[in-house]
A and B are shown apart, each in its own frame.
Chain A
Amino acid sequence: MSMINQLPFYVVGIPLFTALIIGVLAIVQPKLVRLTGLVGIISGAYASLTLFLTVQQSGTKYYTFGNWPAPYGIEYSVDTLNALMILLIYAVSLLAYVYSLRSVIIEIPSNKHGYYYTLYFLLITGLIGITITGDAFNLYVLYEICALSSYALLASGGKRATLATFYYLLIGTVGACFYLIGVAYLFIKTGTLNMGQLFEHIPSIYFTSSILVAFIFINVGLFIKMALFPLHGWLPNVYTKAPISTTCLLAPLGTKLSIYILIRFYFHVFGPEYVFQVLNIQPFMVWLATLAIIVGSVYAIFHTNYRSTIAFIIVAEIGYIIGGLWIGHPDSIAASIYHILADSLMTLSLFMIAGTVLFYLKSEKTSAFALTFRQLRITSISLVVVFASIVGIPPTSGFFSKMYLIKGAFAMGHYQFIVALLFSSLASLFIFFRLFEAYFYSKPPEPAPSIIKEDRLFTLPMIGVSTGIILLGVTFNYWFSVISRIIPVGLR
């Protein structure tokens, strides 16, 4: 029993201590670094699964550090929303870590692996910390821990990556500052930083301008961090130049975490009543999301470099989630949260594919895919699965999020959003067939290329994530029933 009570600590503590141990081992015994990381990530994943199941069974779990009660100490509270996010983070990290075991050897000089993995686990720690903390300022601190370690991880891909990351650093810092300013406004007005207490105090100040300013600052800050159109400029630049080992971890989770914070603030700090009723910006936000989807898809079509294309697909997918959230119908909100899971897996798969294509064929132009389909078996199967999900073909998970998004949008009369969703489906279909045509209608090179056997450390996580995409779709009933508990009563 006591083990289970400590779970909220374990999920944060395990990656933190793994990071520290790796830091030491990097100097003392570099050979053990990879194994230690694997042990750390697996035990963390196991803890997160247990935590998720416990929360499903017995409701929200609270954990106070050193038994100091809130608001003096830091309180962790794990409800269904963050238990789900923690599970997701571990699932993605586990797969990304296994993949990185091979890709790091290619991308990072071998004497730096220890430092790389130290930062890697610090990043995971930060990500988990953000989801689990119940304190708005503590969240900012963890946000910066994430950001700092991710800057270093992204920049380790050579000169161009460093420049792109520096640009990201400037913009990301502005985003984080905006968030902090917003929180400061709330603190001045209410005298607390604990989210639960903020939630209680805010209804009394609904119509003051301070809360409006706080809301705007926090939102814009988070929009920058999640690369919502038109604040998405940094994302394609960074994701196309950073090392694959890093993007596999960061691309699926980085933007999603900011969306998580947004949802947390909407539901449990500002409250759905304020967001959806007091403020009258729903139509504007849905239009913004619609534009994000359309612009992202159009850019994705016009870029032929594979990683640029998928970077813009991510921009469009952010539009899906934000749009579904702001439509405010229980179906579309559930679909948004479900799509956080689905899109994380899809992004992970897309970048893993980028990796193998790049490592084996030394190119990521469309023409490289003529060889991909001929030579890389598992990669091509993953590519088919992930695009089936992006387009929205059942039984992959992408179909179900899209279906419920459309259902919600129709119920609330946001027809333009439906059009955008379908347009984006067709756009991604186009992108897939552009890759496929490069193979299908090209003359096989002479001599006939032989099948390359991909490294098992690549294939295992790729098979894992493809299975995940399908499994998430097949078991979507279960996930929607879990998510229905997250949606606040006022919105159901």
Chain B
Amino acid sequence: MTNFTTILLTICIPIIGAFMIYLFGKKPNQREAASFATAFVLFGCVLKLFNPGKINGQTLQLIELFPGVSISFFYDHLSVVFAFVASSLWIVTTLYSIGYMRGTNERNQTRFYMCFALALSATMGVAFSANLLTLYIFYELLSISTYALVGHQQNADAQFGARKYLIYLFGGSIGLALPAMIIIYQITGTLDFNYSGIVPAYFNPTMLLALLLMFLYGFGKAGLMPFHAWLPGAMVAPTPVSSLLHAVAVVKVGVFSIIRVLTGIYGVDLMQSLKFNGVVCGIAAFTVITASLIALYQDNLKRLLAFSTIGQLAYIIMGVGLASSLGVTGGILHIVMHAFGKITLFFCAGAIYVTTKKKYISEMDGIGKQMPITLSAFFIGALSVTGLPPTGGFISKWMMLQGAMDANLTIIMIVYLVSSLLNACYFFPIIYKAFFKDPATESHGIKEAPLNCLIPPMITAACSILLFFNYRIFTTIIHGVTGGL
């Protein structure tokens, strides 16, 4: 089996899976077995690609759409890392979904699992796209497949959230990213990603800057402020959606697209020579600080996590925007670290909701005494997202800090440090209240979430710690990206 077959399989398997799920729609156990099987096979395929020696940058062209632009796939170090994170976490999330969806008696579960599988297919498509057009197509497919998940509850709240979701995401992609892409194509005649960049350096810098901004805000899934409001709105979705899609797959597709534009369309050299990295870092820095400040004032736990995500996504963009080797490595590594940390936090938030029906932090006094395992996992996730040892988040933040130093951007260093402090400020009070305050009502002893909801956060929390010691499996791969720069 060649690598290209494997790439196509990663995109097709979830689609086949969705079909299987539909067929077994009436029999929940078989349906969930189909979900699991799909997730495992997908992960196996991605694992086959997860081998730095095999990456050769060849492109598979399927259909030529325009002269010089076709639907084509390739895989490089970045796509492999991203696909690995999304597909591995899908397995855990499937386990979690079963517990959560049955625990809360959600309706239309078949549709839920189908859309989930389709969203993963689109994510894989984005990861392995070899040019901007292919990426754009899968990006849109992802928006459509997740729309039904955001509106899953089918009530007024869900309608409002889903509407916001569509307006922001489609408004950005159709209104900004698409024209920017067409203009790039008009200028260069190609859209293929290339680490030396495809944009001609002699072109009008103001125009290039405008296009860059159109891309940054157009790929609205990255949640750069002020185009972020869809993400807190999307929290109306069931928690498995928030955890895998709105902490990992969807939002990181946005970041991934921006990284592709920065490194593959503009190229690091051009970014530096035109001083665009300052612009990117500035926008990201603003988002980092503002999002963290807003998060301080949230009482709804999932909303808090959403704002935290917005800040952390901007971290990644800031890291890559530094355009220094360590900054880019740190940024990409943070995709992995943040994924494991944040999904843990969402899993815990969901577990708390399933067990106690509590959504607000103010109601969670003393909850650690009732759910010690869940809250311990929450603690580890919070450590990782804040960037403290012994968790993986520490490594990536450390690298990004060094990257900022290499790029001589002291101000960015300060932003990193201040925001880490703010992260601690919004996470640790929750943990303090949970463990050390007395519950408002009489406690009922230890009562944890069902096993399906309990095991996944334990796994991901453990991974967060393991990644602290074994981060090199990713850095060796990522090194291929920065080596290419």
Contacts and interface: CB of A to CB of B under 8 A. Distances in A.
Given A426-B170, A426-B175, 18 more contacts: A391-B174, A394-B65, A403-B66, A403-B182, A406-B179, A410-B182, A410-B183, A410-B186, A418-B179, A426-B174, A433-B163, A433-B166, A440-B148, A440-B159, A441-B154, A441-B155, A441-B156, A441-B158
Nearest to A425: B174
A411 interface: yes
Interface of A: 391-394, 403, 406-407, 410-411, 418, 422, 425-426, 429, 433, 437, 440-441, 477
A426 B182 CA distance: 17
B67 to A, nearest CB: 9
B363 interface: no
Q: Which 4 A-B pairs have the closest CB atoms?
A: A441-B159, A406-B182, A410-B186, A425-B174
A317 B137 CA distance: 23
B72 to A, nearest CB: 14
Contacts of B158: 441
B140 interface: yes
Contacts of A441: 151, 154-156, 158-159
Contact of B185 (A393, A394, A407): A407
30 contacts: A391-B174, A392-B174, A394-B65, A403-B182, A406-B179, A407-B182, A407-B185, A407-B186, A410-B182, A410-B183, A410-B186, A411-B186, A418-B179, A422-B178, A425-B174, A426-B171, A426-B174, A429-B174, A433-B163, A433-B166, A437-B159, A437-B163, A440-B148, A440-B151, A440-B159, A441-B151, A441-B156, A441-B158, A441-B159, A477-B64
Contact of A393 (B64, B140, B151): B140
A43 to B, nearest CB: 35
Nearest to A436: B147
Contacts of A422: 174-175, 178-179
B182 A429 contact: no
Nearest to A474: B63
Nearest to B64: A477
A391 B140 CA distance: 12
Contacts of B66: 403
Classify chain B: how many residues form its interface, as a range: 20 to 34
Interface in B40-67: 64-66
Interface of B: 64-66, 137, 140, 148, 151, 154-156, 158-159, 163, 166, 170-171, 174-175, 178-179, 182-183, 185-186
Most buried by B among A393, A403, A407, A437: A403
Contacts of B151: 440-441
Given A426-B175, A429-B174, A433-B166, A440 B154 contact: yes
A326 B310 CA distance: 44
Nearest to B158: A441
A403 B140 CA distance: 16
Contacts of B65: 394
Contact of B137 (A394, A429, A437, A440): A394
Contacts of A440: 148, 151, 154, 159
B34 to A, nearest CB: 24
A392 B151 CA distance: 23
B170 A429 contact: yes
Contacts of A411: 186
A391 B166 CA distance: 14
Contacts of B140: 393
B317 to A, nearest CB: 24
A210 to B, nearest CB: 40
A206 to B, nearest CB: 33
A454 to B, nearest CB: 22
Contacts of A391: 174
A403 B155 CA distance: 37
Nearest to B183: A410
A320 to B, nearest CB: 15
Contacts of B163: 433, 437
A392 B166 CA distance: 16
Nearest to A404: B66
A393 B64 CA distance: 17
A400 B62 CA distance: 17
Contacts of B154: 440-441
Most buried by B among A411, A426, A437, A441: A441
Contacts of A477: 64
A275 B65 CA distance: 32
B180 to A, nearest CB: 11
A433 B140 CA distance: 15
A187 to B, nearest CB: 43
Contacts of A433: 163, 166
Contacts of B174: 391-392, 422, 425-426, 429
Contacts of A406: 179, 182
Nearest to B147: A433
Contacts of A393: 140
Contacts of B148: 440
Nearest to B148: A440
B200 to A, nearest CB: 16
Contacts of B137: 394
A403 B66 CA distance: 10
Contacts of B166: 429, 433
A407 B175 CA distance: 15
A441 B163 CA distance: 11
A429 B144 CA distance: 12
Nearest to A476: B65
B483 to A, nearest CB: 34
